[in-house]
Structure 1
Amino acid sequence: MSVIPLPAAPAELPFLGRVSGRAAAPPRRVVRAPRQGARLEICPAELVEPGRGQVRIAVEAAGICNTDAMFAAGLIPGVAFPFVPGHEIAGRVDAAGEGTTAGVGDRVAVGWFGGSCGVCLPCRRGDLITCRALKVPGWSYPGGYASHVVVPQEALAAIPDGMSAEHAAPMGCAGVTAFNALRRSGARPGELVAVLGLGGVGHLALQFAVHSGLDTVAVVRGSQKARLAKDLGAHHVVDASAADPVQALQALGGADVVLATAASAPAMSAVLGGLAPRARFMVVGVDSEPLAIDTMLLVAEGHTVIGHPAGTAADTEAAMEFCVRTGVRPWVEPVPLDRAADAFTKMLAGAARFRMVLIP
């Protein structure tokens, strides 16, 4: 899930403090937010045994999503403090509860989809990601900023051979979001796919489009992002800080598909005039501002605007398998768990290239 960054400057978010007084390493360590807006603490915690239908994962990597910072700042309702953030998790099963089939040592990833109720109407229709009681790690139960985490077995995605934990962790949210957005756009050979934004989700969306054989244009801001887009394989690059993106897209024939990963409603609105007739506009980025749409243009051109959530564990597996076959990988910056504050600051400043990943 791609979201708007926190309105406060990173320096105003003193995220990390250390709980001292123990010389020996505890059996479990967590990074938690004790109160809304308070400093995150790294501290010892009880090593919880998994219950029926649950497994415990020894965490090897945990990606940092913008949503985690919003949870910590209390900008998303339903967060019960203190809580442990983290919904991009990779590691190995180290204990399995009754009624599970997972094996100790299995390599697994867990993402935004952290379990579903199985009984609501969306679940009964097979649309688990829109479950009315969707479980999200770091929101519904303690998340992955920890040495161990307990999750429902249904949340597990098997990590394929050839993919490291550091690369697998972001696939549970950023990766599967980008992968599913492209799949559900219906993009076909010969069509032009525009990727708006080049962050944690956008840099993966761009790679997925390129490695699917699609004509791909990256719409970014700034010469540095433009160079990075070229490095990632974009066939065309539009620097919206130096050129009109509408004119640039129309010069290419108009975008048939837009994967709008930028967390900016104005940036999305600014490219709507650059679409080809009957284009599909996939909204992935989240902004607190409403999205302004010219309804005459929408109707006259026959465009479709689609809001897109992340994906299930099965979707995450499909995304990782595609990565192994094609060489697509998230660009990650590994950081020790006890330096979560530095990682948060860098992510909020927009300086991550492109996913900060905590290593317990």
Structure 2
Amino acid sequence: MSTVPNLPKTYRVALIEKKDEPFKLVSRDLVPPKEGQVLVKVLACGVCHSDGIVKHELMPVLPRVPGHEIIGDVVAIPAGEKKWKLGDRVGSGWQGGWCGTCSRCLKHDNMTCENGNINGILTDGGYGEYVYLRTEAVASIPKELDPAEAAPLMCAGITTFNSLRHMDVKPGEIVAIQGIGGLGHLAIQYSRAMGYRTVALSTSAAKETLAKKLGAHIYLDSSKVDQAAELQKLGGAKVMVCTAPSAEAIPKLLDGIIPGGTLLLLALAGDIVFPTLPIISKRIRVLGWPNGTAEDGEDTADFSKLQNIKCMVERYPLDDVEKAYELMSTNKAKFRAVIVPGLVSTPEMGEMKDSMAMKTPMMASDPPMAPKKKGLFKDGCGCM
């Protein structure tokens, strides 16, 4: 085994021991990584709505350390590891590894592996000072990217970037982005950078300035106009990207899509009732999109660096994990909450400091929509 000098003997993690209980900070022994793993010092880990799966014990066996938006540095590798070396800046998202032998993997669809691992759900994730990651699920991340800003790219970034690049949209065609939250504010930037005519859709005028700053050519406020009708006046959307979980609003947008266009669902909006006439008569595809593989993560990070795409984040130390999760789950984070283990809380008004100052201003958010269950998927998430 190879390690960087002066590794500690123990490290701290934030875990959920019992359903719906607060996070518990505990110390663990730092042991060598197993074959097929790398040990990563966590520089940042995003707080995602899907982390509610752990909090509410919907899937994992507790106790579990959540976190699947991970950025860090490789600090230990097992003997014989050839792909990764000490000091590599890496990231990992929802897809935490695959078997390589099931029917899906044999068809090169590792994302839907029948025996796939999920970081922070089936194995411990990034809410801690260190994390063990499977080598096939690790992405190379440019060191020029701010770790806290890069962390959400491993979930919200991959989901929006990876879906848009597979939509067969030509430069100049309209891509409409419904919702300007954690997913939507990235989707606007990617759409603009890919050369699409980008239309932002929201429920008030509160985010118009932000949307246009992010790259939206046009902003449509549903409190003032019929968004579908206005889209048709513009020529119609080739793709309607739904990033906000509104089962009531999404079906109304079908009329704004051109024949042969796509309604792309990235938000977990529960059960949605669609009128079948426009879907059939206009040959509209209704398509969902999950997160992506490590290769998709590398492409997302590289494209974000090239195009200077930024994720707007609020940073919290590991000691404030409960606060970070609460702000995320109540839709009050602007726009992504990120845990930075090296961050230190100051006594004055709960402010946080680290070596990198906050680069993005806090923006006013639209009124939050009530979730079906408190604290779960309120902003939607396409990582599954």
TM-score by length of 1: 0.89
* Number of residues of Structure 1 aligned to a counterpart in Structure 2: 333
Alpha-carbon separation, structure 2, partners of 1:47 and 1:265: 45
Give the conservation status (yes or no) of the 8 Å contact 1:55–1:93: yes
- Aligned mates of 1:239, 1:43 — CA distance in 2: 47
1:84 matched to 2:56? The reply is no
Identify the residue that residue 49 of structure 2 maps to in structure 1. 66
1:285 aligns to what SS in structure 2? coil
SS in 2 for 1:249: helix
- Does residue 313 in structure 1 map to residue 304 in structure 2? no
How much has 1:26 moved relative to structure 2?
7.6
In the alignment, residue 183 of structure 1 is paired with which amino acid?
Answer: R
SS in 2 for 1:93: strand
Q: Distance in 2 between matches of 1:340 and 1:260?
A: 29
Unaligned ranges ≥5, structure 2:
1-7, 342-384
Q: Which of 82, 89, 93 is 1:107 aligned to?
A: 89
Match of 2:272 among 272, 291, 295: 291
Asked whether the 8 Å contact 1:181–1:259 carries over to 2, the reply is no
Which one of the candidate residues 219, 233, 236 is aligned to 1:251?
233
Higher deviation after alignment, 149-158 or 292-301: 292-301
In terms of fraction of residues, the more helix-rich structure is 1
User: Which of 206, 213, 224 matches 2:188?
Assistant: 206
- The answer to whether residue 109 in structure 2 is matched with residue 127 in structure 1 is yes
CA deviation vs aligned residue, 1:237-268 (integer Å, no higher than 9, x gap): 11123322222222222111111111222222
> In 1, Cα distance between the equivalents of 2:153 and 2:23?
25
Counterpart residue type for residue 315 of structure 2: P
Q: Decide which moves more: 318-327 or 45-54.
A: 45-54
- Aligned partner of 2:153 among 171, 177, 182: 171
Identity of aligned pairs, percent? Answer: 38
8 Å contact 1:53–1:99 — kept in the other structure? no
Aligned letter for 2:17? P
Q: Which amino acid aligns with 2:46?
A: G
| Per-residue deviation, 1:226 | 2.6
Q: Which secondary structure state, in structure 1, belongs to the residue aligned with residue 10 of structure 2?
A: coil
Deviation string 1:328-357 (CA, Å, 9 cap, x unpaired) is: 111111111111111112112222221111
**What CA distance in whole angstroms lies between the structure 2 residues aligned with 1:134 and 1:221?**
38
Shift of 1:192: 0.4
2: CA distance, partners of 1:97 / 1:259: 42
- Residue 42 of structure 1 deviates from its aligned partner by 1.4
Q: 1:134 to 1:59 in 2, by over 3 A?
A: same
Which letter does structure 2 place at the counterpart of 1:125? K
Q: Secondary structure at the match of 1:198?
A: coil
CA separation in 1, counterparts of 2:209 and 2:172? Answer: 25
Q: Give the match for residue 210 of structure 2.
A: 228
Q: Which residue of structure 2 aligns with residue 197 of structure 1? A: 179
2:13 aligns to what? 30
Moved over 6 A (4+): none
Q: Is the 8 Å Cα contact of residues 16 and 23 (structure 2) preserved in structure 1? A: yes
Tell me which residue corresponds to 2:4. Answer: none
Deviation at residue 185 of structure 1 after TM alignment = 1.1
Taking the aligned partners of 1:108 and 1:202, their CA distance within structure 2 comes to 25
Counterpart-to-counterpart distance in 2, 1:61 and 1:254: 40
Q: Does 1:96 align with 2:77?
A: yes
What one-letter code is carried by the residue in structure 1 that aligns with 2:31? Answer: V
Per the normalisation by structure 2, the TM-score is: 0.84
Q: Residue 91 of structure 1 aligns to which amino acid in structure 2?
A: G
In the aligned structure 2, how far is the partner of 1:148 from the partner of 1:241? 46
Aligned-partner Cα distance in 2 for 1:184–1:282 = 11
- Partners of 1:261 and 1:38 in 2: CA distance: 29
- 1:20 is matched with none
Residue number among 57, 64, 69 corresponding to 2:40 in the alignment: 57
